Amino acid sequence: DGGITQSPKYLFRKEGQNVTLSCEQNLNHDAMYWYRQDPGQGLRLIYYSQIVNDFQKGDIAEGYSVSREKKESFPLTVTSAQKNPTAFYLCASSPRGRENNEQFFGPGTRLTVL
C-alpha cells in the first residue's frame, strides 16, 4: 500500500532537547511538506521541499530544521530554540509542487514537551 508514514505517533521531550520527527512516503512524490497544528489555528507551514537536496522555509521555520537527502524521506528536527514546541505535526506530500495537485497527509506526530 502506498502512503505516508510518520513516526513516532506520540513523542515526549524534555526542555532543551532536540528531537527528530520521521516522515517517509512511497508514493514517488517530488514535493514534501511539514505543518504544525495548534488548536484553533489551522495548519501552519514550517518547511517544504520540491526536490531532493533543496528545501524552503515556510511561515514558521524558526526553531526547526529539515533535510531532504532522499526523495522518500523528509525528517524534521525540532531544536531547543523552538520556544513552544508542543503541538501536532503533520507531514504531507504531492506529486509535484504544482498548485493543482492534492497534498496527501500522514497520520501525524503529537509532540509534548515536559
C-alpha cell at 101: 495537485
Nearer to other proteins, 49 or 82 (CB): 49
In the complex, the smallest distance separating the C-beta of residue 104 from other proteins, rounded to whole angstroms, is: 8
Burial 34-56 (b: 16+ CB within 10 A, else e): bbbeeeeeeeebbbbbbeeeebe
Nearer to other proteins, 57 or 70 (CB): 57
In the complex, the smallest distance separating the C-beta of residue 26 from other proteins, rounded to whole angstroms, is: 16
Q: Of 34, 28, 18, 30, which Cα lies nearest the Cα of 77?
A: 18
Task: Kindly give, in sequence order, each residue whose CB lies less than 8 Å from that of residue 110, ignoring residues fewer than 6 positions away.
Answer: 9, 10, 11, 87, 88, 89
Chain residues binding other proteins by CB under 8 A are 4, 6, 33, 40-45, 48, 50, 56, 58, 90, 92, 97, 99-100, 102-108, 110
CB 78 within 8 A of CB 19: yes
Nearer to other proteins, 71 or 110 (CB): 110
Nearer to other proteins, 10 or 84 (CB): 10
In the complex, the smallest distance separating the C-beta of residue 43 from other proteins, rounded to whole angstroms, is: 4
In the complex, the smallest distance separating the C-beta of residue 3 from other proteins, rounded to whole angstroms, is: 10
